[in-house]
Amino acid sequence: GDAVVPNRLPRLWSEASGQFELEINFMQNINGELQNGNCCEGSSRNHQDRKCVRAQCDTFFKVCLKEYQSRVSPGGPCSFGAAFTPVIGGNTFNLRASPHPERRRIVLPFSFAWPVSVFLHFPVLFAPDPGDTIEKAVYSGMINPSQQWQTLRHNGAVAHFEYQIRVTCDEYYFGFGCNKFCRPRDDFFGHYTCDLNGNKTCLEGWMGGDCNKAICRQGCSPEHGSCKYPGECRCQYGWKGQYCDKCTPHPGCVHGTCVEPWQCRCETNWGGQLCDKDLNYCGTRLPCLNGGTCSNTGPDKYQCTCPDGYSGKNCEIAEHACISDPCYNRGSCSETPMGFKCLCVSGWAGPTCTIDIDECEADPCAHGGTCQDMVDGFKCICPQQWTGKTCQLDANECEGKPCANANACHNLIGGYYCDCMPGWAGQDCDLHIDDCHGQCQNGGTCKDLVNSYRCACAPGFVGQHCERAVSGCASKPCLNGGQCQETLTGVQCLCPAGFSGNLCQLDIDYCQPNPCGNGAPCFNLAADYFCRCPEDYEGKNCSHLKDHCQTTPCQVIDSCTVTVASNTTPEGIRFIFSNVCGPHGKCKSQADGKFTCDCSEGFTGAYCHENINDCASDPCKSGGTCIDGVNEYQCICREGWEGVLCEINIDDCAVKPCQNRGTCQDLVNDFYCECKNGWKGKTCHSRDSQCDEATCNNGGTCYDEGDTFKCMCAPGWEGSTCNIARNSSCSPPPCENGGTCVVSGDSFTCVCKEGWEGSTCSQSECPFT
């Protein structure tokens, strides 16, 4: 339908976007009637049962959405929008499985902050005249934005129907008011996604309130590096390195470093502008061989003093080379014109036989064995499947018993094979095979066993695969020892003491609210509770003051206070104050050992045990029942009256019940239509009879007396249309122990005084004290 949404809502306006949705599920108007008593399409009624004859209502719906009202009033503008459906059915229809859901749906978009608490006026109308109402439904309460539907049902005098409502936020809008905007983006202005609450969640590598600041490479110098994109570290001029923490030295600097860019600070024994002059050539290069002594003679200059038997610039020429035994590792030396030559033994090489030959270079180990070089030899570290010097022999792996859950182990060339028992797999039969493959039906849970499985069936199903449905108590739905009883609508669980809920699944907490007095902690038991009383109190609820003077010497201070010996105070005594004035008073000492009680507001009596009757002045008007409280009262109004004191007569003519230009006169919980031009009936709706099914209320019988009608009321009701409840159900007074009786038709309800409970206030709330 076409929605009507206001353009301006100053109090609630905020940047927001969402929609209110309503769907009609089903409608049932068995007799084809309107709320005013007429039949649809002007059809007549059967003279015997007064039902409409072949009445067919062309039904459509209207939605009026407005601000929340604590006192429901369908009048006034639809400030949040209004809409109509087309005609979607006749008297009775079910649209739950309709292939055209748009016909039964009404959508009211909004662009203001959703207020959560709203008032919904939802009349059902008869085409073609929108003024012909079939039923009216109202809803006043909270509707939080959600994808879930909230199902509501209206059971009226004429028709029954069910509908469902929800509020959803548009894309990129979040929160209870659909007024928190968050749209994911990955551009210059931000790099983020949005969580379920509309909060920005930065993409990896970004930070900041709008997620537009890149996170540089970890370790990047904050002083000399920066980044435009995540993971970068862009160096400032004069700085370098992965983290921009190394300065750039002067171009050409050889043996120097820098603290700031373009410096060249020479290392030890180096000089020159570029630190390229060796000041300690002897120490840096060690040019003198064979024990020669080196002397620095200038930058990059030196002189060698050779020992006996050697000569040359670097003492590199041996005059009797083999005298010094230069060949290592049992190598033999022979002199040559240029010096000497070493003949090395097996496993060694090099000019002086100092190089160990790597026998592993030829890769002697087979089948993936690891070669370990040794002096004049090698060692192969073989895989588990192989053995021998070069790993060429097959090992028997079954000797190590590698198979965990197997019938037997079989040795193979370069491996082994485990013959697994049923239910196991893997090379070593150590992997348990999952036998659950969706065999359990109807919500059953599969439990894997060894080479088998078992189905744990949901309540109501049995069988190996939960394939058979059972009814009633056969599935044992009641928990915690509850007894199951079958009913017409299903099963009912009779719970043992201490448990509640439809399946006895809830453990009753007898400590909520706390029944223990005087600050005592409460401990919940299976079907009871226990109060751990303070030192001065006793009883089921710790409400009785102990008589310490029977067991301990007491010193009387005054008529309200005594002291007893105590190890818990520095003075060695403890003051005990009398509770003679009960929980609503305080003891006040007087002369000659007497006392008086100062009562709390709302209480009186010598011991402050009497609640002042605030109903004594009979404040409730129009037959309302007064319920006395503590320093206050509440008026329960009779039908037809409202207000704090029941002083306001509800205008029953406000809905304009009189048809065919009849004049309405308001009565108490009723109305009277003065009919014209030969029209008859309670609402001037008939030419034939004064009576119809709605003339007499609450089971009353209507009698046509020509120009008027008369109602014979059922027990408990009176009035011209049987709409006034008699007080006889409260006479004689059924409520005990000061309880107040409230009439409800031909029954009553007792509002009990503090300390009493039960249908007639006959049961004490503290039966064990």
Reported as a single tens digit per residue, the pLDDT across 469-519 is 776 787 788 888 888 887 766 678 888 887 887 888 888 888 888 888 888
Q: Is the CB of residue 475 less than 8 Å from the CB of residue 462?
A: yes
Structure tokens at 342: 């070493």
Contact, 129 vs 96, CB < 8 A? no
% the chain with pLDDT above 90:
27
What are the boundaries of each domain within the chain? 18-180, 280-337, 365-392, 397-432, 436-470, 474-507, 547-611, 625-724, 727-769
CATH architecture of the region 625-724: Ribbon (2.10)
* Contacts with 355 (C-beta within 8 Å, 6 or more apart), sequence order: 348, 349
Domain 18-180, what fold?
Immunoglobulin-like (2.60.40)
pLDDT (0 to 100) of residue 589: 86
Structure tokens at 109: 């978009």
Q: What is the pLDDT of residue 320?
A: 76
Is the pLDDT reported for residue 734 higher than 90? Answer: no
CA-wise closest residue to 628 among 641, 637, 640, 619: 619
Give pLDDT, residue 722: 85
Kind and range of the H or E run holding 282: helix 281-285
Q: Quick one: tokens of 328?
A: 């290592």
Residue range 557-601, pLDDT digits in tens: 787 887 777 777 787 777 777 777 877 888 888 888 788 999 989
For residue 629, pLDDT beyond 50: yes
| Pairwise CA distance, residues 616 & 607, whole Å | 21
The third-level CATH classification (topology) of the domain covering 474-507 is Laminin (2.10.25)
List b or e across 308-334, with b for residues whose CB sees 16 or more CB atoms inside 10 angstroms.
eebbeebbbbbeebbeeebbebebebe
- Give the CA distances from residue 382 to residues 368, 411, 414, in Å, rounded to whole numbers and listed in that order: 7, 17, 11
Domains 397-432 and 436-470 share a fold: yes
Check if CATH label 2.10.25.10 holds for domain 727-769.
yes
Confidence of residue 6 (pLDDT cuts 50, 70, 90): very low
Tell me what the mean pLDDT of segment 749-760 comes to.
Answer: 76
CA atoms within 13 A of residue 509's CA, in its CB half-sphere? 5
How far is Cα 676 from Cα 684, in angstroms, rounded to an integer?
8
- Classified by CATH at the fold level, domain 436-470 comes out as Laminin (2.10.25)
Out of 184-193, 314-323, 327-336, least confident range? 314-323
Does 125 have pLDDT greater than 60?
Answer: yes
Assign domain 365-392 one CATH number from 3.30.1330.40, 1.10.1760.20, 3.20.20.150, 2.10.25.10: 2.10.25.10
**pLDDT band of 729, cuts 50, 70, 90:** low
Nearest to 557 by CA among 577, 538, 537: 577
Model confidence at 769, pLDDT cuts 50, 70, 90, reads very low
- Top CATH class of 397-432 equals mainly beta
Asked if 309 contacts 320 with a C-beta cutoff of 8 angstroms, the reply is yes
Judge whether residue 526 has pLDDT over 80: no
Q: H helices of 96-219, where?
A: none
pLDDT at 4: 41
Q: Name the pTM for this structure.
A: 0.36
Question: Has residue 14 got a pLDDT over 60?
Answer: no
pLDDT score recorded for residue 488: 66
What are the φ/ψ torsions at residue 101 (nearest 5 degrees)? -65, -20
Of 138-142, 547-551, 630-634, least confident by mean pLDDT is: 547-551
CATH node for 280-337: 2.10.25.10
Q: What is the pLDDT of residue 727?
A: 59
Under the banding of pLDDT at 50, 70 and 90, the label for residue 195 is very high
Which of residues 458 and 428 earns the better pLDDT score? 428
